[in-house]
Amino acid sequence: MKATVAFRWLFSIVILIAIAVFAFQSRERWSTWFFASTSEPEGKATATGPITEPRVLKLSEQARKNLGLVSKAAKTQNYWRTIQVPGVIADRPGISDRGVTSPAVGVVTEIQAFPGDTVQPGDILFKLQPFSEYLQNTQTELFKAQRESELIAEQQVRLRNAAVSGAISESRLIDLDNQARRQSAAIQSHRQDLLTRGLTPVQIDSVAEGRFVSTIEVAAPALRPNDMNVAVSLAVAADAPMFEVQELSVELGQQVQAGQLLSTLANHRELFIEGHAFKKEASLLAQAARDGTEIKVEFSEDDLKKWTAPVNRLEIHHLANSIEPNSRTFSFFLPLKNQSQVYQKDGKSFVVWRFRPGQRVRLHIPVEEFRDVFVLPSSAIMREGPEAYVFQQNGDLFNRISVNLMYEDRLQAVISNDGSITPGLYLAQNSAASLNRVLKAQAASGVRADVHVHADGTVHAAH
């Protein structure tokens, strides 16, 4: 009985010793199942898992080009907070459009300018065959008055010597002088009447000689004095078109009355920007109009690559004193000087305007000033919950910095000058959201972007 128990104890001890030996020999295999390695060879970079507070990312030059990344030195400035108001470009009443009317009753025999054509002041637009008894009578009366005036002048020459010698009384000469003045006044009246009917001075001279006009030429109107100043200031060439035929109101062979509209000419050199605001914004707009505050305007569908000239300084000209009943808004107006380009085709000139009536705009009205702040494009700001970040560039490294965002709109962001960033730091001006995604991806990989390994295997932080 005792021998059996001793044997069992001996057998158990042998088994335990065999297990212990096996475990010792295979320790490198099974120890990784239960214990994580807590040490790495000295000088080797370790994978420590996701970085909880990533701050620095690394971008190659090619990656920066792919993002179109731009960095600029930060500087403080004053900035006006604005409110956005919709608007539209409109013709300037009494300036942009001009009507061309028939000077007399007649029939349209020729049309020389069609919609889309551009013409200069004085260019012939229409030819009319006069169908007016009044016009014919006026030409006849002018011819008669001219002949009568010539006869009176001849009599004055013949009788003047006789009056000096006493052969006739001087009252006779006085009577001839009075007749000459009456005829001169009649001639002047008839000539002026024919001018208003569309006849040129050359045509009126031919009427006075007995060659009556059977065709009336209707020309483009002359420039206004303000247009002349614009043409001189812009150094417009002599053949540069000033008007565009916008609408044609008659057809060939059509009989027209005196004063009837023949066509509409447009000169979009001077336009209005018509803004639409609510009544609660009226005081702000009135103050901006009184102070002559410059209004920033964002033009939709404006190709800045083709139009590089700056837009004139825009200020509020006047505010409307009535409210539109449907939209409950009122209008205000800003003068806009347009820009144009001219091209030639089929021997004719055509004009293309940069700004066109009906084009939508967005107006930014200044209402509050921020002093000594940093102003960046809105795409340079990364929002993450209540935090706002910018990225400072240092070579191929970008450091994420938390900032105090005072104001932000669709285009720009205002950052407080509280010491989080200082003037002179190079800050990324765009692609902040993309940089933040790259930062998180690099942090999740477990490899810090702000360290590097030397040739001897040692690890150092970026410097």
Q: What is the pLDDT of residues 245-288, one digit of tens each?
A: 999 999 999 999 888 999 999 989 899 999 999 999 999 899 99
Amino acid at 217: E
Strand order in the sheet with 243-248: 97-101, 261-266, 243-248, 118-119
> Which residue, chain included where needed, has tokens 């920033």?
296
Residue 382: predicted pLDDT: 93
Between the CA atoms of 257, 261, 262 and 266, what dihedral angle is there, to the nearest 10 degrees? 160
CATH superfamily of 84-93+266-368: Efflux pump adaptor protein, beta barrel domain (2.40.30.170)
Dihedral, CA of residue 113, residue 116, residue 119 and residue 122, to nearest 10: 40
- The pLDDT of residue 446: 66
Is residue 187 within 8 A of residue 208, CB to CB? The reply is yes
Name the band, by pLDDT with cuts 50, 70 and 90, for residue 230: very low
Q: Could you report the per-residue pLDDT of 317-366, keeping only the tens digit for each?
A: 999 999 999 989 999 999 999 998 888 888 877 888 899 999 999 999 99
Residue owning tokens 């018509």: 274
When the pLDDT of each residue in the chain is averaged and rounded to a whole number, the result is: 81
End-to-end CA distance of the chain: 80
% the chain with pLDDT above 90:
35
Closest CA to 432 of 374, 384, 373: 384
pLDDT in tens, 45-66: 444 444 456 788 888 889 889 9
Mean pLDDT for the stretch of residues 438-452: 71
Contact 316, 332 (CB under 8 A): yes
Give tens-digit pLDDT for 417-429.
Answer: 999 999 999 999 9
φ, ψ dihedrals at 284, nearest 5°: -65, -40
The string of pLDDT tens digits covering residues 4-49 is: 666 677 777 777 777 776 666 666 665 555 544 444 444 444 444 4
Q: What are phi and psi of 304, to 5 degrees?
A: -70, -15
CB atoms within 10 A of CB 51: 18
Lookup: tokens for 305: 């690559």
185-210 confidence digits (pLDDT tens): 888 888 888 887 777 788 888 888 88
Measured between alpha carbons, how far is 307 from 254 in angstroms, rounded to an integer?
42
**281: DSSP letter:** G
Residue 401 pLDDT:
93
Question: Looking at the predicted structure, is the pLDDT value of residue 454 above 70?
Answer: no
Q: What is the pLDDT of residue 75?
A: 94
Rounded Cα distance, 424 and 12, in Å: 79
CB 376 within 8 A of CB 77: no
Q: What is the pLDDT of residue 69?
A: 92
Per-residue pLDDT for 369 more than 70? Answer: yes
